[in-house]
Structure 1
Amino acid sequence: MSGFAAAVTRDVLAAPPRLGAVRLVAVDGPSGSGKSTLAAALVEAFAAAGASVALVSTDDFATWDDPFAWWPRLREGVLAPLARGRPGGYRRTEWTGGEPHPGSWVTIATPEVLIVEGVSAGRRSVCHLLSASLWVECPAGERLERAVARDGESSRPALVTWQNVETGWYAVDRTAERSTHRPPSG
């Protein structure tokens, strides 16, 4: 993964910024596919290259009841201010209940690279702002077991429903087809 992250880092830093002076990178793919792990490797690779980097997870916005329509909060709170060279911010939302986390305000200083990681991060409506779009996936059964291991056995029914919903999202948005990078399998 480190070789892949280093190659993506070189490509992104060579690309022009499209969100004001910020290079926006989306790490997208179905739940349980390894997006968070890849995003963490990218943060390390950008930092090692001397670039200032910030990471935002779509899990801080999405909920079981609102899997995709929360995007205006990210756009207005983070993307629009960063495009103007100003810090952005948002309140983290508790995934299962949809309530704000107490004391959960997150401020995003204007970085050279902003990584948005999570389901729908590379959606069609943001593709014109992306310096890179990464697509991460693995077989559905493996993804479900990873997600259950992460969230607990009691989450299995909700995760099955969620994975069906995200399959429909990706069929319509066609995110994978627009990706610029895919990590090697395995």
Structure 2
Amino acid sequence: MDGVVSFDAAVDLLADVCARGTRTILIGGRSGSGKTTLARAVAERTGHKVVHLDDFYPGWGGLAEGSRMVARDVLAPVDPGYTRWDWGNDRPGGWVPLDPGEVLIVEGVGTLTPENLRAARRRGTCVTVRVELDQETRRARALARDPEFGDWWEYWALSEERHAADAANVLSDVDLVVAGG
């Protein structure tokens, strides 16, 4: 799976690797790049569960902690799950349990870290995906999806930059690069 592939080709490739026994797909990229759209398309094709980091980042300052929660909680070998974030009340919500035997598609900013990759590989075969798209298009898409994001776009973008600048936080080499979906 070398080079940059189109969205449709990525869906086909990821559905195929799921059919061949892949246990975890980690989809990362910047806000608005098409991670969620890709994850949903693969889930529709395969019937596998999607876990969205947006469901559990602990607030707008929570990118780093949300990233750590993937390995620690979502991909935990025993009692996996996550504490949903109540965005409306800016506080933790309820626990969402996951089945440790379930194939998972995990998507969000902060998904592609060495720690998360190690945790995913403990579950079995894992495929890593980075979705790329230019900043102007990403911003327009993100704000169309969630107009309240506009108040936080610059703050979140700085969090993304800080996260990506730390080589220990990101995978420089992924299995598949997708032109934004």
Counterpart Cα distance in 1 of 2:178 and 2:67: 26
- Report the equivalent of 1:35: 35
Question: How many residues matched?
Answer: 168
Q: Is the 8 A contact 2:29 2:132 kept in 1?
A: yes
**Structure 1 unaligned runs (5+)?**
18-22, 48-52
- Report the equivalent of 1:116: 106
Out of 129, 134, 143, which is 1:134 matched to? 129
Q: Secondary structure at the match of 2:24?
A: strand
Q: How far 1:176 moved relative to its partner? A: 5.6
Corresponding letter in the other structure for 1:179: V
Q: Is the 8 A contact 1:27 1:35 kept in 2?
A: yes
- Do the aligned partners of residues 146 and 99 (structure 1) sit closer, same or farther apart at CA in structure 2, a change above 3 Å counting? same
- Report the equivalent of 2:64: 68
Counterpart Cα distance in 2 of 1:93 and 1:185: 27
Q: How far 1:10 moved relative to its partner? A: 1.8
After superposing the two structures, state which structure 1 stretch, 55-64 or 107-116, moved more.
107-116
- TM-score scaled by structure 1? 0.76
Counterpart Cα distance in 2 of 1:133 and 1:96: 31
Out of 150, 155, 159, which is 1:161 matched to? 155
After superposing the two structures, state which structure 1 stretch, 143-152 or 105-114, moved more.
105-114
Q: Is the 8 A contact 2:71 2:115 kept in 1?
A: no
Aligned alpha-carbon RMSD (Å): 2.5
Q: Is the 8 A contact 1:12 1:132 kept in 2?
A: no
- TM-score scaled by structure 2? 0.78
Higher relative contact order (CA 8 A, sep 6+): 2
Check if 1:90 corresponds to 2:85.
no
Q: Is the 8 A contact 2:18 2:46 kept in 1?
A: no
Counterpart Cα distance in 2 of 1:185 and 1:105: 31
Q: How far 1:96 moved relative to its partner? A: 6.5
CA offset digits 1:82-134 (Å, max 9, x no partner): x35xx533221024754124xx4322223442111100111121223351111
Q: Secondary structure at the match of 1:182?
A: strand
Counterpart Cα distance in 2 of 1:13 and 1:178: 23
Corresponding letter in the other structure for 2:165: A
**Structure 2 unaligned runs (5+)?**
1-6
Counterpart Cα distance in 1 of 2:68 and 2:28: 18
